[in-house]
Amino acid sequence: MFDPASLKYDANGLIPCIAQQHDSGEVLMLAWMNRDAVARTLSSGRVTYWSRSRRAFWVKGETSGHVQELVELRLDCDRDCLLAIVRQTGPACHTRRRSCFHTALRDGAEVTIMEPVA
Amino acid sequence: MFDPASLKYDANGLIPCIAQQHDSGEVLMLAWMNRDAVARTLSSGRVTYWSRSRRAFWVKGETSGHVQELVELRLDCDRDCLLAIVRQTGPACHTRRRSCFHTALRDGAEVTIMEPVA
Q: What integer is the mean pLDDT of A51-74?
A: 96
Task: Note whether residue B111 is domain-resident.
Answer: no
SS3 (DSSP) at B3: coil
Task: Note whether residue A93 is domain-resident.
Answer: no
Report the domain count for chain A.
1
SS3 (DSSP) at B40: helix
| Residue whose C-alpha is closest to residue A45's, from A17, A83, A82, A71 | A71
| Residue whose C-alpha is closest to residue B30's, from A22, A104, A59, A83 | A83
Share of chain A above pLDDT 90, in %: 98
Task: Note whether residue A107 is domain-resident.
Answer: no
A5 — phi, psi (to 5°)? Answer: -70, -15
* Residue segments in chain B with a per-residue pLDDT below the cut of 50: none
Q: What is the pLDDT of residue A118?
A: 78
Q: What is the pLDDT of residue A28?
A: 98
Q: Which of A16, A77, A97 is the closest to B95 by Cβ? A: A77
Is B78 annotated in a binding site? The answer is yes
Q: Which of A29, A81, A101 is the closest to B30 by Cβ? A: A81
Task: State the average pLDDT for chain A.
Answer: 97
Q: Which of A73, A102, A113 is the closest to B77 by Cβ? A: A102
B108 and A27 in contact by Cβ < 8 A?
no
Q: What is the pLDDT of residue B102?
A: 98
CATH number at residue B22: 3.10.20.810
Task: With a threshold of 0.95, tell me whether the complex ipTM lies above it.
Answer: yes
Q: Which residues of A touch B110 (CB under 8 A)?
A: 2, 75
Task: Note whether residue A18 is domain-resident.
Answer: yes
Task: Note whether residue B106 is domain-resident.
Answer: no
pLDDT tens for each residue of A3-35? 999 999 999 999 999 999 999 999 999 999 999
Task: Note whether residue A116 is domain-resident.
Answer: no
Nearest CA in chain B to A77: B100
Q: What is the pLDDT of residue A86?
A: 98
> How far apart (Å, rounded) are the C-alpha atoms in residues B116 and A112?
37
A45 — phi, psi (to 5°)? Answer: 75, 5
Q: What integer is the mean pLDDT of A69-98?
A: 98
Give the global pTM.
0.98
| Residue whose C-alpha is closest to residue A13's, from A40, A46, A38 | A38
Task: Note whether residue A9 is domain-resident.
Answer: yes
Q: What is the pLDDT of residue B64?
A: 92
Task: Note whether residue A117 is domain-resident.
Answer: no
Contact at 8 Å (CB) between B21 and B88? yes
Contact at 8 Å (CB) between B40 and B34? no
pLDDT tens for each residue of B29-48? 999 999 999 999 999 999 99
Q: What is the pLDDT of residue A81?
A: 98
Is A78 annotated in a binding site? The answer is yes
Q: What's the domain range around A74?
A: 4-87
